[in-house]
Chains A and B, each alone.
Chain A
Amino acid sequence: MDVDFALTAFLTGWLAATVRLAGPLLLAALGELFAERAGVLNIGIEGVMLLGALVAWWAAWSTGSLWLGMLGGMAAGLTAGGFLGFMYVTAQASQVVVGVIFNIFALGLASYAYRLILGGASGAQTAVMFSVLPIPVLSEIPFLGPILFRHTPLVYLTALAAAVAWFVLRRTAFGLNLRAVGENPRAADTAGLDVTAYRYAGVLISCVAAGAAGAYLVLAQVGQFRETVVSGQGFIALAIVIFGRWDPLRATIAALIFGAADALQLTLQIFTSGVPPQLLLALPYLVTILAMSGLIGKADQPESLMVPYSRE
């Protein structure tokens, strides 16, 4: 076989898979960015993604509509967000404890509900899935075309979401207010901003995005619901926020790097190499632990992250 051809095929396959796999990670990370910028560390997105995946699968499987599936995932996220927002903001519970426990609860709930829905049906039930929508002209560009422009609509929408997130956070009054609440809630309160409302907004945005990311996994990558469909990708999204230093554009780059690591082990399985794929599979999680340990990014972290606010 021609070496150049093999290399190009490997690179194209790898990088296209990178973009594909980065999508849900980025979507969840973008939402999380809003929560953290408002001062709430929402660790619960892992569980929210799972609930989103379940409801999206159920809605798409029973109605046959992809977009109803996506909507279902987001609605699940919104519901979970209402609960988490209450715990984080109103009850002012420890954000880490609530998030971690919620993830465990979500796993139990999703498994139970899945069995309930399936009832007597045997085997996994496959939902409809998004098909690839090549962008005319652009997808024909050699090398870049297949990497960037031959994807499901969800990839393009996620890219658009990153740009919108950047604009909203950086250029609008809503973004300025939200960031002020996460940096110095007292100052924001004194300036007449409703700290509680902005923090709820951050949590709800993160949960809807996480629900959508869960739906994304089912509707564009797996086609079925499994308890392992999320398996830590919510946590990776948390790491992406840190590596992206709480900025949507830098988070996009971080998501691509995590996507690349994930894609590499998939691609290497096809191309066979000496490296055990399990080792590569573990790599992103190892990096995530590093990111979450607080060794990285402290300087850019919103100053009131994880600090509940009350007037006195």
Chain B
Amino acid sequence: MTPFLSARGIVKRFPGVLANDHVDFDVRSGEIHALLGENGAGKSTLMQIVYGLYGRDAGEILIEGRPLDLRSTRDAIAAGIGMIHQEFMLVRRFSVTENVVLGLKAGGGLRPLDLAGPAREIAELSRRYGLQVDPSARIEHLPVGTQQRVEILKLLYRKAKLLILDEPTAVLTPGEAEALLKVLRTLADQGHAVVIVTHKLHEIMAAADRVTIMRDGRVVGSVKTAGSSEAELARLMVGREVALTARRSTRPAGPSVLRVENLTVGDDQGRRALDGLSLDLREGEILGLAGVDGNGQSELAQALTGLRAAAGGRVLLGARDLTRASPADRRSAGVAYVPADRRHVGSVGALSIAENAILGDQRAYARFGLLDRRRSRSFAAELMERFDIRPRKPEYPAGKLSGGNLQKVQLGRAIASDPRALIVEQPTRGLDVGAVEAVWAELLRLREAGKAILLISAELEEILNLSDRVAVIYEGRIMGEMSAAEADLRRIGLMMAGSHGEEVGHADP
């Protein structure tokens, strides 16, 4: 059978990088095809080329065996190729119907727009593929999982036969992810071709028929999932054996270090982001806080570090009440923080690594108000040696570091302050496997050194691998807490969707 889409010998160069090096890629109608690879392996580049967002330096693209003259996304859409980006491309204040038809009349037009006809068609499509989307609903009122199905509707309405989804489950609860994979299966069964770009191995094994693995801009394998295993895929992806399971400590946790009592905090819109949340962080343990993004995790981290005022409740470090303390006071009291946004919150891109390394501790490096550059440079050099930060130049601008290296700067800075409690938020988001290993190892070392660590992460795998205890946050409240031994994916998944995880019932709201 001729594949729906074939990419033959695709070459794409960016300044200094060969992003795609003679890549061949096939996807057939009726299959779910996973595209696997680390960050920078070239999988996104390949998909952007297929979708017409990037031009290619060599190679051709065939649709059902015929060469496609692909110059823009418009050509791709006309050929039946559709793509859903990680960040949804929806206008929040528009209805589902308005979002679906947006762009079909790109040139404008001043005649009355018919929305009733499309609305009926969308309702029909939604029924046929089990999408459960109300065409008249406004996007801002829909949960994330439904918004994603609106994106799918946009493609189906444009008669897409190939649907490319970039990291589609990154923003979903496990329940929503399962529902999505079911929808994708329905689409494939009805003759669509589906590509999911992902690095989640268990998802690939569960949902995909075939998987193509990329590394360093090349395809290193294309296998049926039925005859493969997670270990094999991981080996192909990284190019060596990986052990992404951390050893848990048997050492019991010590006394309480950081206590949060009934903390209530507002978000930027004045809504209640944390609603009477309580936590107890103990010496020598990692407490994993699981939850779908946007359920108050960032606000919690900010409230703990003094970046956001508490409306009620208390934050205690040992016996000391820090609820009203400034960020600087909290730092000197021993609370360190590694923020999720390492580029904009955790570092100043225009400053050098050395300058970033002492950020917040400038006073310790100053004499009579003047910075002692020699000392800050030697401190940075030490840090770079210890954490293997590259390039090893203290004067290098932090903004030009890769995500993994920048994260090591942040982490190293936090550790160097010898904190009692460490709050790390999404520590491995966007990092490749090698960097993930390094960050995990460092967190475990700190735990062994007796630090109290709060690990805020949307990656369940990370939470389960590192934590001694797991708490689940949902809409600003802790839904439940359990020891690592009791933690299982299903129970946590239910709590992430807002149920208490005890009853056996529907995961979908």
Contact = CB atoms under 8 A, between A and B. Distances in A.
Interface in A160-187: 168, 171-177, 179-180, 183-184, 186-187
Interface stretch (B58-66, B91-99, B430-438, B488-496): B91-99
Given A183-B91, A183-B92, A191-B89, A172 B110 contact: yes
Contact of A173 (B85, B87, B113): B113
Interface stretch (B10-18, B100-108, B170-178, B225-233): B100-108
A191 B103 contact: yes
B363 interface: no
Secondary structure at the A interface, as helix, strand, loop or mixed, is helix
A209 B87 CA distance: 37
A247 B489 CA distance: 49
Nearest to B88: A187
Interface string A82-96: 000000000000000
Nearest to B83: A190
A188 B111 contact: no
B90 interface: yes
A128 B93 CA distance: 47
A140 interface: no
Interface in B49-84: 73-74, 77
A193 B103 contact: yes
Interface string A17-28: 000000000000
Contact of A172 (B92, B94, B112): B112
B91 A187 contact: yes
A203 to B, nearest CB: 16
B135 to A, nearest CB: 15
A192 B93 contact: no
Q: Size class of A's contact patch?
A: 20 to 34
A187 B74 CA distance: 15
Interface centre among B87, B93, B111 (most CB of A within 10 A): B93
A192 B74 contact: yes
B109 interface: yes
A194 interface: yes
A184 B105 contact: no
A193 B110 contact: no
A172 B107 CA distance: 11
Interface string A193-227: 11000000000000000000000000000000000
B109 to A, nearest CB: 4
A179 B95 CA distance: 13
Nearest to A300: B93
A173 B74 CA distance: 18
Contacts of A171: 112-113
Contact of B94 (A173, A180, A192, A193): A180
20 contacts: A168-B110, A171-B113, A172-B108, A172-B109, A172-B112, A173-B111, A174-B108, A174-B109, A176-B98, A176-B101, A176-B102, A177-B102, A183-B93, A183-B94, A187-B89, A187-B91, A188-B91, A192-B73, A192-B103, A192-B106
The 9 closest A-B pairs by CB, nearest first: A191-B103, A174-B108, A173-B105, A187-B89, A173-B109, A190-B89, A192-B103, A191-B102, A183-B91
Given A180-B102, A183-B92, A190-B85, 19 more contacts: A172-B108, A172-B109, A172-B111, A172-B113, A173-B109, A173-B113, A175-B113, A176-B98, A183-B91, A183-B94, A187-B88, A187-B102, A188-B91, A188-B102, A190-B89, A192-B74, A192-B77, A192-B103, A194-B106
